[in-house]
Structure 1
Amino acid sequence: MSNQSFAARTFRDDAVVLRTHKLGEADRIIILLSRHHGQLRAVARGVRRTSSKFGARLEPFMVADLQLLKGRSLDIVTQAVARASYGGAIAANYDKYVVAAAMTETAERLTDVDGETSNAHYQLLVGALAALSRGAHAPELILDSYLLRAVSIAGWAPSFTECARCGEPGPHGAFNAALGGAVCHDCRPPGSPAPAPETMALLGALLSGNWPGADASAPLHRREAAGLVAGYVQWHLERTVRSLKLVERV
């Protein structure tokens, strides 16, 4: 009976490590975003000992195939097989590290109660970490593209062409986070930012994955786009993403 009970409580899933913190003298609590089970909180026993067999596989930004034992409040990691080792390349570069921290913090906020879109969030985050680790694009562009797509998965897709309020075809010259993106002259609330046309084009490229267009953007428009993205994401999250403050913009 006990073996059957143990087997019934055991499950496997691929997961990316979002965050860790120490527990006792040798353990860690691991915050995970899994492919099929959403966000998980688990204990890794003895993982901080030098003799641990899977300590390095449970560092932030790593992707692993995990076996877990279901617990009352925290699951227990019983096996970990590396799927992708992004942590080392990211941790070796400060710009990449703070970008990855901002992405995983956002992922944690977006998936703490929403399990229905966990697979899409998982795939998006793993793809972003892979691109970041290999230097596919400028780190800040990868971050802003990830943020726009992540909030879109969560149900807050921004508009950068037609008016987010009335649907009037664009392009438009104003942006309002509360209304959902670009706004026309008639719908524009007082005080709404008026980004450069190139900035709005960059935002559209980052959302759609038009990387040739995004890579060709000027630093001035990247900085302006970053401010709009940060404001948009934090408006809809209704909280600050603290790691965004550490990201350096050229």
Structure 2
Amino acid sequence: MSLFRDDGVVLRTQKLGEADRIITLLTRGHGRVRAVARGVRRTKSKFGARLEPFTHVDVQFFARGSELVGRGLPLCTQGETISPYGSGIVADYARYTAGTAMLETAERFTDHEGEPAVQQYLLLIGGLRTLSRAEHEPRLVLDAFLLRSLAVGGYAPSFSDCARCGLPGPHRFFSVGAGGCVCADCRVPGSVVPSSGALTLLGALLTGDWETADATEPRYAREGSGLVSAYLHWHMERGLRSLRYVEK
């Protein structure tokens, strides 16, 4: 039996019994963790308000044996709010749907519970902070987060050089299966020819060039979002449930 602390972001919650919840968090030191929070659905519980999606919390867990690797679930015994990102997200539909897609992405990219995923954790913290402060358009923040999550997962797309042979670009063709832009010699069936404006935007989002991204015309932003969605769907083998609400 042991107690351990970690800070993390609440990804989602599930009802358990009459008053409990299962809380899924992405933590700094232990990766994705599912834990039981007892009594948090009671109206008088102050602890429960700290364990809502989008909240960055410092949590204490009580675990027995090897519970972090699948034998039962640890208990959330204490929690302190670090940053309530939800307060700046849930009141705006565009920010809320983008944030929900970010939470789902973070969970999908951390398949194994208990394994550290520090880069994904830091990406999520930065994305939610930016989203809650309304520093950029919500869909641009989401697309930047999706592209960087793909890069961390080993699926970084190329928006300039050829993804197959490495020939310096820019190139006209784009293939989600090939890994991004491809030259004429490496072009594969199903390749598309996106606008240079959309490719410039996606390259800026991947590298964090927000000056270029914020100045992009809406038509290029819409086109770029379509490419990101297709690329994500291909490499994750199934789409995000929450992405359909963002697109609406």
User: Matches of 1:60 and 1:92 in 2, distance apart?
Assistant: 14
1:149 matched residue in structure 2: 148
Q: How far off is 1:135 after superposition? A: 0.1
For the pair 1:123 / 2:122, whether they are aligned, the reply is yes
User: Matches of 1:101 and 1:233 in 2, distance apart?
Assistant: 16
User: Matches of 2:21 and 2:115 in 1, distance apart?
Assistant: 27
1:139 matched residue in structure 2: 138
Alignment equivalent of 1:60, drawn from 36, 53, 57: 53
Q: AA paired with 1:66? A: V
Under a length normalisation based on structure 2, what TM-score does the superposition of the two structures give? 0.94
Q: How far off is 1:177 after superposition? A: 1.0
Figure out how many residues of one structure are paired with residues of the other and give that number: 242
2:221 matched residue in structure 1: 222
Q: How far off is 1:174 after superposition? A: 1.1
CA RMSD of aligned residues (A): 1.3
User: Matches of 1:43 and 1:12 in 2, distance apart?
Assistant: 15
Q: How far off is 1:115 after superposition? A: 6.2
Give the % identical residues: 56
For structure 2, the residue ranges without an aligned partner over 5 or more in a row are none
Q: AA paired with 1:86? A: Y
1:91-240 counterparts in 2 under 5 A? 91-113=90-112, 118-240=117-239
**Misfit runs of 4+, over 6 Å:** none
Q: AA paired with 2:56? A: V
Alignment equivalent of 1:49, drawn from 32, 42, 63: 42
Alignment equivalent of 1:24, drawn from 17, 22, 36: 17
User: Matches of 1:141 and 1:54 in 2, distance apart?
Assistant: 33
Q: How far off is 1:65 after superposition? A: 0.4
Secondary structure (helix, strand or coil) at the match of 2:21 reads: strand
Q: 1:202-244 CA distances to partner (integer Å, 9 max, x unpaired)?
A: 0100000000000000111111100110111121111111111
User: Matches of 1:24 and 1:95 in 2, distance apart?
Assistant: 33
**8 Å CA contact 2:32, 2:115 repeated in 1:** no
1:246 matched residue in structure 2: 245
For structure 1, the residue ranges without an aligned partner over 5 or more in a row are none
Secondary structure (helix, strand or coil) at the match of 1:171 reads: coil
Q: AA paired with 2:52? A: E
Q: 1:107-161 CA distances to partner (integer Å, 9 max, x unpaired)?
A: 1000022866611111100110010001010000000000000010111111111
Q: 1:159-201 CA distances to partner (integer Å, 9 max, x unpaired)?
A: 1110000000000111111111111111111221110001100
**8 Å CA contact 1:202, 1:217 repeated in 2:** yes
Q: AA paired with 1:163? A: C
Q: AA paired with 2:112? A: V
User: Matches of 1:218 and 1:80 in 2, distance apart?
Assistant: 43
